[in-house]
Amino acid sequence: MRTSFFNKEKFSDPQVVERLQFFGTLSILAFMAALFAFFFWRSVQPKADFYNELWGPTYLLVHGQSPYNTVSLHPTHPSGWFPMAIGFFSPLGWLGEDTAMRVWFLLCTLELFTIVFLALKKSRAIHVTFLSALLAFSFPPTLYHVFLGQIGLTVALCMLLASYFVTKEKHWLVALLVAIGLAKPHLGSLAALGLSVYYFNKGRIRTLFAFYLRVALMVLLLCLPLFLAYPQWIVDMIAQLRSRPPYFIYPSLFMVLWRNMGTFGIILWALMVLSIFVLIYFLWKKLPPMHAVSWSLGLALLITPYIGSWDFVLLLPILILTFSRVGWKQKSFLILVYLLAWYAQMVIQRMEPSHNYFFWWVPPLFLGTAAILTPWKEYTQKALKIS
């Protein structure tokens, strides 16, 4: 009796289909990441943010100097990333600037790969995976982020992984990830606040306090290389933060409201912050952590006063999450919004003069689109089943 290689019953088995989708997803994401690396390998800008904020401080650190006194390296601006990033990525200081820059580029590419994979979760149809990867790897803030050597992707990935491992009861690993994610506290704090809500709902004050204690210990652990190499680094860090430009027109809603409405605009911004804090509480109470943290990362872009358009990579988890879980009509609408926004960002970038401030509308547009497309009545039930 002859047996066919293609067994129809075998390929109708849900477990087999799931495995095929899993490996298909990995293959597509690996292909897209390889293409991204091939085209943009030489696009990272030397002497940009990576040099100023991370490589310079780590280079000084491993050579026994203050990581926050970078004058000898002639940076274009003072270092402002928190010491957890410098401690965790301190091995980069042993590498030459160009080599470290290439390693950072590859790390950012891997982070993009992982963020898309985590946001897709079990919604891994081949066409959805391909389109999701295309949205993420061609997102203008993604390109700007990578060219500058920024750290927003690291923040997003750490918080996504923390939301995953918190459901696995890996609390020390969660604390480590949160500590790294707070290297840019204006980006990671809202997600950390959401995790606080999660722990409080699990075990009230005692569990919440234990979470804070673990995070504090991990922060100290990550700062240990700085204490060992140059114990006086805190004084220099404070001086560096004070020496940063006091005024810059950031692409934030705070800046838009303040510039156009003055004091009344600041009051509106404060009310928006309070409203989002309340919203975060309900999101973390109703949704699984992976879903809630995706919204938390995106919503942080609405309330932080200090931000750059490269930080808009925090929108990627909620964009992929929404795109992968709605019907084709909604997918088509999201793609249309994405294309229009992509074109508008390119036009603004080519304007003379252009300014980062002109991109302030990007987070409200995509978060609003995601909120409109999300079927909230069904969302909680479906999310719980998927998670």
pLDDT tens digit string along 37-71? 999 988 777 778 898 899 999 999 999 998 988 88
Q: Report pTM.
A: 0.91
Query: Which stretches in the chain have pLDDT values below 70?
Result: 1-18, 244-248, 378-387
338 within domain boundaries:
yes
Look at residue 387 in the predicted model and tell me its pLDDT.
Answer: 47
Domain count of the chain?
Answer: 1
297 within 8 A of 190, measured Cβ to Cβ: yes
5 within domain boundaries:
no
Planar angle of CA 296, 181, 375, nearest 5 degrees: 20
Look at residue 17 in the predicted model and tell me its pLDDT.
Answer: 66
Reduce the DSSP state of residue 52 to 3 states and report it. Answer: helix
> And the tokens for 376?
């909230």
Reduce the DSSP state of residue 326 to 3 states and report it. Answer: coil
317 within domain boundaries:
yes
1 within domain boundaries:
no
Q: Which domain holds residue 338?
A: 15-386
Look at residue 380 in the predicted model and tell me its pLDDT.
Answer: 56
What is the C-alpha separation between 293 and 194, in angstroms, rounded? 7
3 within domain boundaries:
no
Type of residue at 295: W
State the residue for tokens 């060992």: 228
150 within 8 A of 138, measured Cβ to Cβ: no
pLDDT tens digit string along 293-309? 999 999 999 999 989 99
6 within domain boundaries:
no
Cα 331–chain centre separation: 22
25 within domain boundaries:
yes
217 within domain boundaries:
yes
